[in-house]
Structure 1
Amino acid sequence: MSGDTAKPLTLPSGPATLCFDKDDFMKNTFNVDTFVMDCRRCVPLETLRDDLHIYLKILRSAMIELINKDYADFVNLSTNLVGMDKAINNLTEPLGQFKEEVLCVTSAMDNAIEAVEEKLNQRQKIKDKKACLQGLINIVQSVEKIEKLLGLTHNMEPSSGARLNGQLIERVATEFNKLQFYVTKSRGLPLVEEVKPRIASITSTLQYSLEGSFLEGLDNNNVDILRQCLRTYALIDKIKDAEALFRKHVARPFMEEVITEDFLRTSHQGLKGMYIKILEFVPKHCHILKDITSSSTSGDVVRGYDFIVNSVLPEIVCNIEARTPSIFAPGNPNLFHEKYTISMDFMSKFEQQCGSQASVKRLREHSSYQVFMSRWSLPVYFQIRFQEIAGAFENSLLSGLNNAPDGSDMYLHASFHLWESICHCWQPDVYLPTLMHRFLKLNLQLLSRYSSWIDEIYQKENQKSSNTNILKNERASTPASNNNSSSNNKQNGLEQNNQTSTSCESEPITLGQILCLLADAEKTSERIFPMFEKDIRPKLESIGYQNIDLIKDAFNDSQTNVLCNVPKFQNSVIQELTCQCSVHLKQVADIPRLFRRTNREVPTKTSSYTTGLFKPLNMFFSEHKAILSESRKQAIAKQVLENLAQQYYTSTSDVLTSVKKMEDSLKRLKKARGTGVSTGLPGMTDDDKIRQQLIIDIEHYAQQVESFGFDSKTLHGCTQLSALCEEARIAMTNPNPSSSSSSALTPKPAS
């Protein structure tokens, strides 16, 4: 067949209107279901079917063209394959021989590779044995060399008499370091076990010489000897031995002399004096070692040592724990706070004696430092403070609404103790930075307890008021027939009522106490954030706390809780004052009785009840002017006057309605009798006198409202009363009967 068989098969092109791509059929990932689903998103199934039929016709046409094009090849295909079987059989035998030859070569190569690998393994073993043998030779040579330098034989015991000089020690240390390396590599071999006693003898002699030279250098302050000894210790990887030697021979005698209970008792500065003495140790005994190991100005620095952290600190902590454990006792919180503060100040100064920040970090991570910090029973200290602060505040709540001590700017004993308790948490002799979170929580708990206490008072008073109202309703609803019961039952009932009233009615809270509570609650809320900025924020910043706004939000919530009951208490004050003042409004209903069929003169003065209407309010303001703020006074007065105006309007409206009904009834009666209504008679009717009296009283009420500093026109109740006045004037049949009645427009107070 003509054509290149390697050329990829391409499908014939179709119309551009087809809803699919013809190349999708040639993809290896072609799937019928996926293909149909993709096409359905674009066209209906009918369209897809039609397009597929169109393309099928195109494919058939293309196939026919292809067959026609290569028709001769298709016809001659069977002819071209004649003799192909014989040709294939002729190739089979040569290919079999070639395969056998390849297998022989492969086998020979595998045998050669195995032989080479075996030789290489043998060679590696020989090399390892030679290295091991060389290591053992090096060990023996090093041991003999060191023994020769030290003047030892393998039969001698470790010498403890003579010490080596500095240069010889350094030579021995260098060789000893090599010996340790060789021994580590040859560990477990029999020869190493044989020379271990000799190595131990060398180690003892070397350490004895090093210790002697090191202590001699410390005694004489010989920098060269100390540097050489420290370098040697570092060379043989015995840094901890040098630090332990310094701790044992230098730090321990000093600390055992200073850190004692006797020193605490005899020193006029007590614990502080002991710490001062301890702090003198580093500059006095460690300055040379500190210079050599950190910032030497004359010679190389010997790295890897930290005598302050690894020698001095453990000895200090060990002696404090063992010899002066009394400083950790938390029983007396004031004494504990003093000792803890002094100890933390000592530790801060001790950190300053470290040579670098890295040394400070090592100190804080040292186990002795952790032990020292954990010995302070801070949770116990806080629990004692909690009982002391919260207990005193809780006891003050039990006293109820007693007055605060003289000289306090609070009015109630509980409020005074609340603020004292909050401030006490941040006193320098109470607060500890490590207990910051606990004191913050205690502050919030105190404010929460104060809020709940105020709420409890309100709930109790509210319950008492409800019980009183229920008792009044029960007494009012008791039928009169019960009074005719037997004397025995009556006496029993009276005794039972007396017991009930005695048990249910405790001493009620006064309006003055409520005002004191409101004033204290507002004063407490006003002080919270100044106290936060002054006392709490600096302490939070000093310990590196970042989310200060979260703490502030918590105090903001506490402030809201403290004030949440203030409006309720203020409303109860307003209701009580309204109730006291409104008692006099009952006399409004008696005005018609004073003028009907009494032949009284036209009223020119206010009624007697108006003089007592505002008396409870004025007395309240006069008695509590020291407690009441001007804003609260105005708020209470405005609401009381508004409530009174509403009740006054109701009472007056009822009277005028009654008068109107009576007047209409009389007119109908006269009309029925055939008697005309007289309109020309001089003087006022009784109904007009009643209206006139009410008008005078209402105008007097408006004047009293303005005397409190309010515009009567701005109060809804006063506006209603004014409208009622106008209605009464319009309803009067003879508003100006005589000249004497003109004075009614200017009300005079009742005598």
Structure 2
Amino acid sequence: MDEIHYSEFENPNFDAKELVQRYRKRVPLPQLQKLLRTHHGNTRQELVELINEKYADFVSLSSRMQGVERALKPLRAPLEESSELTKGLHAKLGGLLQKAEEAHQGLARIRSRKEALHAYIENARLLEKLRATTKSSSASDSPESKNFRDERALQESIARDLRRIHLNLASVSESSECAALLVEANAFQEDFSKRLEEKLRLLLRASKRSWEAVQTPDAGLPRSELLAISHTCRALCTIGHSQLVEAIFADVFTKATLQEQSNACNAAAEEAKRKAMTMADATAGSKVVSAGAVDLAIFFESIQKVFFTEASQLLWFARRFRGGTAGDEGVEVPSVKLVAYSVVLPALRQVQEVWPNVFMPAFPDIFAANFSHFTNFLQAAEEVMDKSEADELRQNVLGDFQKRWKTQVYCSLRTKEAAQRVDAAAQKLSTDQLAQRHSAAGGVYWLEVSAELMRTTDLVWNAWYLSGLYPKMARLSLELIAKYGKVIAGFAETSSTTGGLGWDASASPPTWEASALAVRLSRAASDLLQVVSSLSENGSIAKPFMDRLPLVSGEQGEELAKALLEDAAKSLQPTLQLLQDGMLKQVVAAMGTPFAAIRGIPAFYRMLNKPVPSKASPYVESSIRPLTAFREVLVHSTISDQKIMNCWLQDMVEGAAEEFTSQATQLIEMTHQQEASLRRLAGRGGSGGDDQVSDLDKIYIQLCIDVDTFIDMASTVARGSPPGLNRLKEAVAGIRRA
């Protein structure tokens, strides 16, 4: 029976009719009546009527259910009997299925057993045959004998059969007989591999002796010896001992050479340390510590000369084993990688064992040199390998060895050193008189910090750079350029607030002093332009930046590198603008000083009966002299870009023209006012010696001549006419009637 929620019956505000409708199909009628009488006595009559109204439905439903019960009663017995029969049949079928499954499993075990016995018999016969063949074979000591060649071919056949036995027994290893036979096969294979190993060592040592005795690398070995060695190698490779073959070649041809070169390298390091200790000067004393570091140049270069040249017997074997050489058919051993595993891997292990500290950049210069020697050694090795062997070398051999090089620490040390070099040069900038020029990276610079920037970037790419570190070295170069831009910007801002004008008008000829701010700024601008030029295509910074770009980066990487260089050049433009503004301010101030003489023109002509002017006033030439002298300064400062230099001069003319325009406009306004006052007093202006030309006309004529002369001279010096000259001409256009 469903749970009755008595709280609903206890609620006096609950709708009784709704309550009856909800519970009448889930609660027996007597119980429902009792609950209603108990909790809703005040509505008893209504509830009784409601129940009586629905009671007929309950009675009708009960009658129909009784009819159904009577109709189903005759069918109950047959259905129960059928159910019992079905259960019995299910039990019998389950038993039969279980017996069939057991029979099937037994048959499978028998079949598996049969297969195992068949495999055991076949492989036991094959193993016994191999044992008999091995015992009966007797090779002659002469490589030219038929038995010698036959045994070498037979060894490869035995190796293939052993391989087949292992493959056959691997699938039936559950059988005890097959497992025991597999143990016997393993024991036989181990003994067989030991004999092959001994024979291969003897063959290789004999070939090495004969090679050294003949001393004709081009002749190589007799084909019979080469076939014997290749058959033995293939036999070992067939039974899974490729690494053993490579190790034997390394023992015979490589091990002694590596030890000899290690001793030579250590001896050279000790000799360098001894010489450094015995030197008495202070410079050598600073090198004593680094002299104890080992330079691996002797080790790696000697290995390249011994193993990667045409005189190398091991390289001769490697090429024959790769196949494809005329006259060497049948000697291929493609699973053996002699260069990678018999030369490169032993050499790298020798470095790890003998010089474990070489991977730490305690001495960055030695660390970089050793890493470069290692990289060159790998490149030389890859040149004598085929592509598959080179790929396997990089995937399986070089990963752990390359991780040992602490290149991240090295980059940190170099970054710190580069920043210190530029900072030290920047500190000298405030006291540097810019009188002595500095050479660096194929260029000549006025500022020590500029030269140091170029030296350091040259070191970054040509001395400090290591393969695989392109992103970090590129970032370091760009950071140095950004630091340099900030240093020059600080120099421009600081210099603009200190020092005098520096224009010596009394000198003969008038000139800019060497310590003048405009001169210093021009020399700084010259350096900055050279740095910007070095960032352009084929520049001293851009060229190594692009040449060192890894080939795997493709066109997208090249475009990105060019974009970085362009951004670096653009970042220096605000600094160049600061220098330009500083020069402009100084030169315009020097050019504008003589314009004060314009105010004296009226006093020169008024009431003095002066002749009509025919030439420019002296102040015009005085105002052009600072510009002419500064052009010489720019040329001396090696501003090679004529377009930029002319732009600067034109901006200076623009500034001076504005000052001239202001002075001329003030003069015209002042003379107009004076003329009006004189006319009111005397009815006309004063007259000079010429009855047709008044004093005012003479003033205006002189001013127009001065303006025209200034425009002509300034345009000539600046190689162009800036807009300010047109405005100056327009300022006096109204008085040209004179």
Q: Does TM, scored on the shorter chain, surpass 0.5? A: yes
Question: Partner of 1:318: helix, strand, or coil?
Answer: helix
2:722 is aligned with 1:715: no
C-alpha contact 1:705 1:712 (8 A) present in aligned 2: no
Look at both structures and tell me which one has the larger radius of gyration over its CA atoms: 1
Instruction: Report the residue type matching 2:305 in the other structure.
Output: I
Match of 2:476?
Answer: 442
Deviations 1:620-674 (A, max 9, x none): 4455553466545654554444444443444444455445445545665x5xxxx
**How far apart, CA to CA, are the structure 2 residues paired with 1:633 and 1:554?**
27
Question: Which of 682, 689, 693 is matched with 2:695 structurally?
Answer: 689
Equivalent positions of 1:528-539 (< 5 A) are 528-532=535-539, 534-539=543-548
| Cα distance change on mapping 1:385 and 1:403 into 2, 3 Å | farther
Equivalent positions of 1:505-654 (< 5 A) are 510-532=517-539, 534-540=543-549, 545-546=554-555, 547-590=557-600, 600-602=608-610, 604=612, 609=619, 612-621=622-631, 624-627=634-637, 631=643, 634-654=646-666
Shift of 1:555: 0.9
Range that drifts further, 698-707 or 102-111: 102-111
Match of 1:746?
Answer: none
Deviations 1:420-469 (A, max 9, x none): 44444444x5544433333322332232222222322233345569xx99
Question: Which of 458, 472, 487 is matched with 1:453 structurally?
Answer: 487
Question: Which of 191, 194, 197 is matched with 1:208 structurally?
Answer: 194
| Cα distance change on mapping 1:148 and 1:521 into 2, 3 Å | closer
Shift of 1:381: 5.2
Equivalent positions of 1:215-230 (< 5 A) are 215-221=201-207, 222-230=225-233
Question: Partner of 2:572: helix, strand, or coil?
Answer: helix
Range that drifts further, 96-105 or 343-352: 96-105
Match of 2:301?
Answer: 272
Equivalent positions of 1:237-386 (< 5 A) are 237-261=240-264, 265=268, 271-279=300-308, 283-285=312-314, 287-288=316-317, 291-292=320-321, 294=323, 297-299=328-330, 301-323=332-354, 339-354=370-385, 356-367=386-397, 369-379=398-408, 382=411, 386=415
Instruction: Report the residue type matching 1:347 in the other structure.
Output: L
| Cα distance change on mapping 1:130 and 1:456 into 2, 3 Å | same
**How far apart, CA to CA, are the structure 2 residues paired with 1:120 and 1:139?**
28
Deviations 1:73-114 (A, max 9, x none): xxxxxxxxxxxxxx9999999999999988877766555444
| Cα distance change on mapping 1:678 and 1:652 into 2, 3 Å | closer
Question: Partner of 2:549: helix, strand, or coil?
Answer: helix
RMSD: 5.1
Range that drifts further, 167-176 or 637-646: 167-176
**How far apart, CA to CA, are the structure 2 residues paired with 1:295 and 1:288?**
13
Match of 1:4?
Answer: none
Contiguous gaps of at least 5 residues in structure 2: 1-70, 137-147, 208-224, 272-295, 502-513
Question: Partner of 1:530: helix, strand, or coil?
Answer: coil
| Cα distance change on mapping 1:364 and 1:174 into 2, 3 Å | closer
2:418 is aligned with 1:397: no
C-alpha contact 1:581 1:616 (8 A) present in aligned 2: yes
**How far apart, CA to CA, are the structure 2 residues paired with 1:167 and 1:721?**
110
Instruction: Report the residue type matching 2:533 in the other structure.
Output: E
| Cα distance change on mapping 1:317 and 1:423 into 2, 3 Å | closer
Question: Which of 229, 232, 235 is matched with 1:232 structurally?
Answer: 235
2:102 is aligned with 1:118: yes
> Given the two structures, how large is their TM-score scaled by the length of structure 2?
0.64
Match of 1:702?
Answer: 708
Shift of 1:214: 2.6
| Cα distance change on mapping 1:416 and 1:403 into 2, 3 Å | farther
C-alpha contact 2:250 2:342 (8 A) present in aligned 1: yes
| Cα distance change on mapping 1:372 and 1:441 into 2, 3 Å | same
> Given the two structures, how large is their TM-score scaled by the length of structure 1?
0.63
| Cα distance change on mapping 1:379 and 1:111 into 2, 3 Å | closer
Shift of 1:311: 3.5
Question: Partner of 2:437: helix, strand, or coil?
Answer: coil
Deviations 1:336-376 (A, max 9, x none): 5555444433323323333x321221122222x33444455
C-alpha contact 2:204 2:252 (8 A) present in aligned 1: no
C-alpha contact 2:418 2:456 (8 A) present in aligned 1: yes
C-alpha contact 1:169 1:209 (8 A) present in aligned 2: no
Match of 1:415?
Answer: 450
Contiguous gaps of at least 5 residues in structure 1: 1-86, 153-162, 470-506, 671-675, 730-751
**How far apart, CA to CA, are the structure 2 residues paired with 1:630 and 1:314?**
60
Question: Partner of 2:335: helix, strand, or coil?
Answer: coil
Identity of aligned residues (%): 15
- Count how many residue pairs are aligned between Structure 1 and Structure 2: 585
**How far apart, CA to CA, are the structure 2 residues paired with 1:211 and 1:553?**
60
| Cα distance change on mapping 1:263 and 1:526 into 2, 3 Å | closer
Instruction: Report the residue type matching 2:242 in the other structure.
Output: I
Shift of 1:276: 0.8
